[in-house]
Structure 1
């Protein structure tokens, strides 16, 4: 059923504009297309390979935590402080390059940009297996961070360019669940590969890097042909299917889906937007805990009276549970909406988990708390990503906003990579307390984000944001909100700042 949108009031002297009228190639008839069948086709071409890419990304960056248990520090002659510094170095280029990478992804083909990044980090990963000292390890972690920088924000932006706002959460959850699979698979893989200790004169930890790196390079080469591009150019769609996909996105207030010419103003829109900075705080609240959890789970379990291989194997069921929870909550949050409540609930579970970890001195209780933690940290991320992406319109603005939020969130990985110090074992009280603080801050940002979004929606419902539209009589329109030749011009130029756009809670 067509719905009415307007930058005007509902009074008798207001003209409305039908938002359902096709604005992309209006002469094309797409009435014979089965929407459900088409979206299944899109799912099969877009999501599975992205999931594999992110699985290897997370597997590669986190494998150093598994390798540490097999004498990495001793063989390289590095101290615990040097090891922690090496972990931190990954996140600096990783975070700083993300916003720029997203803009490049939009301007270049995803098939080229994402595949090239993967090829580079696969080569860097392989070189980890021949490193001989602290300087080499530090340099390679910097290069790995730079090479991987654009993948996660790029894929999130890419997914948001294919699906409606109510469909994004589950797709991002499926994609992101590969991080939990990587955690589970990484432990199993490390336990198996470590048995190659001495083969070719290399220690077991070196073979973990070498074999995973070679696999990444091979997948990257295949990606140049497998990854699809944006809806308006995707080769696997017919011309009518492209029109259908773009129109359904435009009807969901994604009016830039048909393509957008780059203008620096779109970047400045993101930099001036309060949502960008609150989203950065929200991402900080879960990305810091995410990397602390992923990098140190084997060490945490190891210090609870388990041997190295046992610790890696005991991490497997934790990640399997995290994968299940991520997908289930991603589906439910898409189905029922109100992402603020899901976020608030998940952050609250995370707070309970880390209070237990801070206070517990019982291995079994701490191991249980790890399950609570993974139930909160991992599902929060796709829900938050979908929430933030759905509230930013304009493809370039969304790419910059997501890049900044995800980049700043990941920068906190440089902090949490250093908080689980060897001298604090076996209970790591300081590390757990810092993660607890991050989660509490994330809960605060969630509440603030929702309150301010609702306040802005209320202002638009009261017509305080109405623009002056040529040919439309609207006594409530105000010059300060802009003057435009038509509704299409207003919504395309203003994006989510357009008076007809409503933020999702």
Structure 2
């Protein structure tokens, strides 16, 4: 294979070759064409890339992908999170009283959403691969936009619960679907930042959602709809409009991107393929064995449990921050209380991009993940230690500064530690499903009888952050230890007698595979 690549490189006359050592082709257009074709591996048996590209050409392609792909999915996820969390804004604007809710009814309403969210998580991501994210993501966006709009017209707890259940079913595929979609376009080292650029919309949804809710509530009515119902009406209409536009703007995969030249399409395919040991096709056919490889992966399992614990705090903050702020500043008006939720989310948004950026620069995810949790622990220790309003409000900033980075870091980590596209779809689906089990738990973390200081909720979040720190540290030590063991294995002996398909089916069990911390 290496000889074929070298011969092809010599005959191509490409002028953008930068390195010719170790039998690796290095970025000529003909080389990219060979690698992009189905049936040709882009790595040797040890996982070393057989092709390298001119950094300037690759940077130009990456910037082009950034401009076309990231803005659309980021905007869709912004309103996905707004349509999920706006119930918190509606709660302090009168939703509970109008629907006759009392005691734990609000917590139960939040739980209904997560039941369907969890049930449809992995099936949604499998469906995303089968249909194609370019069609699937706009379709589910349209679905949860309609459900958000429908919430404006519910009149009792049963109707609200039914709408929230369907909303969860549509939103289930959003976070894992976008993460899987981006993994079709970006290399391992690039993915964390791009995940951060769309997941930053979670804290931005809190900030923008608070501003939007406070602005909407200053209006008397929209048509026959008034009060808290206007929040769902206006935001649902915006989401539906964005969904319709995204059917036009989203491109399913590099091979179908009309805004890329043929050479750029081949380079986009080849550079992703060159990171996947023994892979001869970027978009492989689904089968049960590959689907299970994504679920059985030990690092995927541990990382998913970390995301479960992390998401107890993330989702709890989304649903209860307006309530927490109201207990800190009970004399403020409803609009002022909404506005007080904005600054902590802005700080969270900054660090949700900054930490993945550092991860991208050093091509490490686990150590950045480990660094996040102590700050969250300090924040919740402050909540537990005092009832002083100013200190407790300051603690919100410490929590948001590290909390939201868990989303891009964990999704990027599970994506980096599987090989096939099929395994990646279930690995990301499992990670987000586990995260939303944490979301379900979060709906019962801040209980009415625990107000106003919420010792149970704050104590739970302190404990989960400490557990995350221990698990993430243990996973890093295990990956380093297992990689050292893999260095002693004979790749040629273990692969002897296997067919190409059998080698590809090994996925992370391939002897040439190395864990990516």
Q: Give the TM-score of the pair, scaled to structure 1.
A: 0.89
Stretch moving more, 198-207 or 53-62: 198-207
Q: 2:435 aligns with which of 405, 409, 412?
A: 409
Partner of 1:12: none
Partner of 1:492: 504
Q: Aligned with 1:131: secondary structure?
A: coil
Which structure 1 segments of 5+ residues have no match? 3-15, 468-473
Take 2:167 and 2:257, find their aligned partners in 1: how far apart are those partners? 30
Contact 2:329 2:337 in 1 (8 A): no
Q: 2:395 aligns with which of 362, 369, 372?
A: 369
Q: Aligned with 2:200: secondary structure?
A: helix
Deviation at 1:198, TM superposition (A): 4.8
Partner of 2:241: 218
Deviation at 1:457, TM superposition (A): 1.0
Take 1:96 and 1:180, find their aligned partners in 2: how far apart are those partners? 25
Partner of 2:321: 297
Take 1:19 and 1:417, find their aligned partners in 2: how far apart are those partners? 53
Take 1:256 and 1:328, find their aligned partners in 2: how far apart are those partners? 35
Residues paired across the two proteins, number? 476
Partner of 1:188: 211
Partner of 1:84: 107
Q: What are the Cα deviations for residues 254-306 of structure 1, in whole angstroms up to 9, with x where unaligned?
A: 63663211222101222333233212211112111100011111110110124
Take 1:124 and 1:181, find their aligned partners in 2: how far apart are those partners? 21
Q: Aligned with 1:217: secondary structure?
A: helix
Partner of 2:488: 462
Take 1:166 and 1:266, find their aligned partners in 2: how far apart are those partners? 23
Q: What are the Cα deviations for residues 356-386 of structure 1, in whole angstroms up to 9, with x where unaligned?
A: 1122211110111100000111122212221
RMSD (CA atoms): 2.3
Partner of 1:428: 454
Partner of 2:178: 155
**How is 1:162-173 mapped onto 2 (pairs within 5 angstroms)?**
162-173=185-196
Take 1:54 and 1:276, find their aligned partners in 2: how far apart are those partners? 23
2:73 paired with 1:50: yes
**How is 1:58-207 mapped onto 2 (pairs within 5 angstroms)?**
58-207=81-230
Take 2:486 and 2:24, find their aligned partners in 1: how far apart are those partners? 18
Contact 1:71 1:205 in 2 (8 A): yes
Contact 1:232 1:258 in 2 (8 A): no
Which structure 2 segments of 5+ residues have no match? 3-21, 41-50
Partner of 2:410: 384
Q: Aligned with 1:193: secondary structure?
A: helix
Deviation at 1:484, TM superposition (A): 2.0
Contact 1:232 1:259 in 2 (8 A): no
Take 1:161 and 1:182, find their aligned partners in 2: how far apart are those partners? 26
Deviation at 1:236, TM superposition (A): 2.2
Partner of 1:279: 303
Take 1:299 and 1:378, find their aligned partners in 2: how far apart are those partners? 20
Q: What are the Cα deviations for residues 90-116 of structure 1, in whole angstroms up to 9, with x where unaligned?
A: 111112211111111112121210011
Take 1:375 and 1:249, find their aligned partners in 2: how far apart are those partners? 31
Partner of 2:463: 437
**How is 1:194-343 mapped onto 2 (pairs within 5 angstroms)?**
194-253=217-276, 255=279, 258-306=282-330, 307=332, 308-343=334-369
Take 1:87 and 1:23, find their aligned partners in 2: how far apart are those partners? 48
Q: What are the Cα deviations for residues 209-260 of structure 1, in whole angstroms up to 9, with x where unaligned?
A: 0010011111111111111111233232222211111111122226366321
Q: Residues 364 and 104 (structure 1 numbering): CA distance in 2 closer, same or farther, change over 3 Å?
A: same
Q: What are the Cα deviations for residues 318-345 of structure 1, in whole angstroms up to 9, with x where unaligned?
A: 1111111111111111102332221111
Stretch moving more, 368-377 or 256-265: 256-265
Deviation at 1:40, TM superposition (A): 0.8
Deviation at 1:482, TM superposition (A): 7.0
Contact 2:307 2:406 in 1 (8 A): no
Q: Aligned with 1:166: secondary structure?
A: helix
Partner of 1:502: 514
Contact 1:118 1:220 in 2 (8 A): yes
Take 1:346 and 1:65, find their aligned partners in 2: how far apart are those partners? 26
Contact 2:380 2:395 in 1 (8 A): yes
Q: Residues 430 and 197 (structure 1 numbering): CA distance in 2 closer, same or farther, change over 3 Å?
A: farther
Q: What are the Cα deviations for residues 32-75 of structure 1, in whole angstroms up to 9, with x where unaligned?
A: 98221111111111100100000000111000000111111111
Q: Residues 342 and 271 (structure 1 numbering): CA distance in 2 closer, same or farther, change over 3 Å?
A: closer
Q: Give the TM-score of the pair, scaled to structure 2.
A: 0.87
Q: Aligned with 2:36: secondary structure?
A: coil
Take 1:35 and 1:335, find their aligned partners in 2: how far apart are those partners? 16
**How is 1:33-44 mapped onto 2 (pairs within 5 angstroms)?**
34-44=57-67
Take 1:31 and 1:96, find their aligned partners in 2: how far apart are those partners? 42
Q: Residues 482 and 442 (structure 1 numbering): CA distance in 2 closer, same or farther, change over 3 Å?
A: farther
Deviation at 1:19, TM superposition (A): 8.7
Partner of 1:470: none
Deviation at 1:203, TM superposition (A): 3.1
Deviation at 1:496, TM superposition (A): 2.3
Contact 1:285 1:440 in 2 (8 A): no
